[in-house]
Structure 1
Amino acid sequence: MKNPLLVVLSLLFLGLPVYSQTTTPAAPAKPAVALPPQKAYVAAQKFSPDGKVNPGFAAAHEKFVAQAKEGKARLVFLGDSITAGWARQEAIWNEAFGKYDPVNFGIGGDRTQHVLWRIENGELEVIKPKAVVLMIGTNNSGSDSAEDIAKGVTAIVDTIKAKQPQSRILLLAVFPRGEKPTGKLGAANEKLKQVNQTLAKLDDGKTVHYLDIGGKFPVVDGALSAEAMPDFLHLSASGYQIWADAIGGKLAELMK
């Protein structure tokens, strides 16, 4: 019969290497942040992946609210990065719109729900614009249906009308995008065409004036020209000149 003491000592000895190799367990990974679900026609702020309000969005909104409170602008541009890009085209902007005391309320990456939230939260307070130029929806094309995107734009139009009954709205068709008419971006364009067909019906000839200038951007061999849209989405200086020229006459009419 084995000595019980020897058995115990043997077990302890054999167990030593096991315990000596044990390491402190790694800290558990932070759980993924579940971002609040958003719908194209329900006002919402823009969030970063960490679940917090996007700081760039918040800063721009605060700046726009301050500009609105000055009450000086007679023309407001609302939109996403394509609208925000006017800030890089000061000469064209001033030449085309400077006489109207314009403000540019465009934020990169914005979707319809973000613009809706912005105008519900101060960007159309105090200010009394004669006209509002609206072009929004392309950033929704990858995740929302044509019906929901159109509902989002319609909600924006209705909110502008409610907050600024004296303003005339120049509602622009969502610009075309993508180098080729096929593939994912081709599908996006087809969706945006459906959106634009719905938006055209909002034109009442009085308060809302719909204008589709997409056909003004040059097309080469069936694809958008990189001259006007270098990345087939955002505009170059020549693209902004096309935009300015295309709406100039109608805008002059609305600003009377």
Structure 2
Amino acid sequence: MAPGATAGPLALAPAALALLLVAIAAVAVAEEPKPSAAAPPSAPNTAVLPAPLEWDRFDRRCRALAQRAATERPRVLFLGDSITERWSTVGQAVWRARFEPLGAANFGVVGDRTQSLLWRFDHGGYARMAPEVVVLLIGTNNVKNGRNSPSETAEGVAEVVRTLRLEMPTSRVLLLSVLPCGESSGAPHRRAAAEVNRRLAAVADSPCVDLLDCTALFVDAEGRIPDRWMADKLHPTEEGYRRLADALEPAVRRLACFGPRRE
């Protein structure tokens, strides 16, 4: 600057001007809105993904059922978990009296979930049986201990029904509600099962799929499950199976055109 000259308000030394520009740039960058973090991808619904149960008994049972599927042609096919399989043990006398005469086959598997039942369709050769009616009871083991949410479980049941309709297009499907369980109406498993059942009405939206709500068969007026119907509050006793058969048999006979039962 020349001697005697007066500095104006913006007359800055080059070094000072550079520092000022850096500071302004830093403030501008700090004030720029940061891009929002991408939402983490939602976990897949395991209830709709075919997967076997990782235990030996499941493998042995599935192998035995695949062998039966290669030769048997039942008119009525029962699919489901331990509640279905136990028709062959606890409910055996009721089964022999009520469903054997209808040409029924029990393909229940202890521990079965929607995903393992889907896996069984992929590996069991069930389509060749082509029954007139499929009785389906599945979902309890999905919601048990929070393995799947009620909405995930209902989607899993819907996927099973969709697969049934593709694999067995001439079969009618009798979809049973998830049975009540737990000591009280407020038990977590009971509430989860009730929520699944609320969503099943949307699954039975086809003329070939009928929904049978079995909840009232096992719950008394106080909302409790009596021991005489379900001693462990999960699996029916012999009397419980008899109550279930009273509701099931007329529906199966109607769907398969057997006519009413003769006493």
Tell me the matched-pair count: 211
TM-superposed deviation, 1:191? 1.6
Identity of matched residues, %:
35
Unaligned runs of 5+ residues in structure 1 are: 1-36, 48-53
> 1:136 maps to what in 2?
138
Helix, strand or coil for the counterpart of 2:73?
Answer: coil
> Aligned equivalents of 1:60 and 1:246: distance in 2?
28
- The amino acid that maps onto 1:152 is G
* Alignment pair present for 1:148 and 2:152: yes
C-alpha contact (below 8 Å) 1:45/1:113 kept by paired residues? yes
Letter in 2 for 1:127: M
Matched residue SS, 2:211: strand
Q: Which structure 2 residues correspond to residues 115-130 of structure 1 after superposition, within 5 A?
A: 115-130=117-132
Match in the other structure for 2:115: 113
Taking structure 1 as the reference length, the TM-score comes to: 0.78
Is the Cα contact below 8 Å between 2:76 and 2:133 reproduced in 1?
A: yes
Instruction: Give per-residue Cα distances to partners, 1:155-185, cap 9 Å, x unaligned.
Output: 1101110000000000000000011223xxx
Contact residue 61 and residue 123 of structure 1 kept, 8 A: no
Offset of residue 203 of structure 1: 2.1
Higher Rg of the two aligned structures: 2
Contact 1:64-1:123 at 8 Å conserved across structures: no
CA contact (8 A) 2:136 2:174 kept: yes
Structure 2 Cα separation of the partners of residues 105 and 117 of structure 1: 14
Q: Which moved more, 1:150-159 or 1:82-91?
A: 82-91
Structure 1 residue 86 displacement after superposition: 0.3
Distance 2:77 2:225 in 1: 28
- Relative to structure 1, the CA distance from residue 220 to residue 197 in structure 2 (aligned partners, 3 Å threshold; closer, same or farther) is closer
**Residue 80 of structure 2 corresponds to residue 79 of structure 1:** yes
Contact residue 184 and residue 190 of structure 2 kept, 8 A: no
Distance in 2, Cα, partners of 1:221 & 1:167: 38
Letter in 2 for 1:250: A
Which whole-Å CA distance do the structure 1 matches of 2:102 and 2:207 have between them? 20
Q: 1:40 touches 1:148 (CA, 8 Å); kept in 2? A: yes
Map Cα deviations across residues 98-146 of structure 1 (whole Å, 9 max, x no partner): 1221111111111111111112222413212001000111111122111
1:206 counterpart residue number = 207
| Cα separation, 2, equivalents of 1:91 and 1:125 | 28
Over the aligned positions, Cα root-mean-square deviation in angstroms equals 1.6
**Structure 2 partner of 1:93:** 95
Within the candidate set 175, 188, 200, 2:179 is matched to 175
For residues 1-256 of structure 1, the aligned pairs below 5 Å read: 39-47=46-54, 54-88=55-89, 89-141=91-143, 142=145, 143-182=147-186, 186-204=187-205, 206-219=207-220, 221-256=222-257
Change (3 A) 1:122 1:44: same
Residue pair 2:180, 2:219 contacting (<8 A) in 1 also: no
Paired with 2:140 and 2:52, the residues of 1 have a C-alpha distance of 17
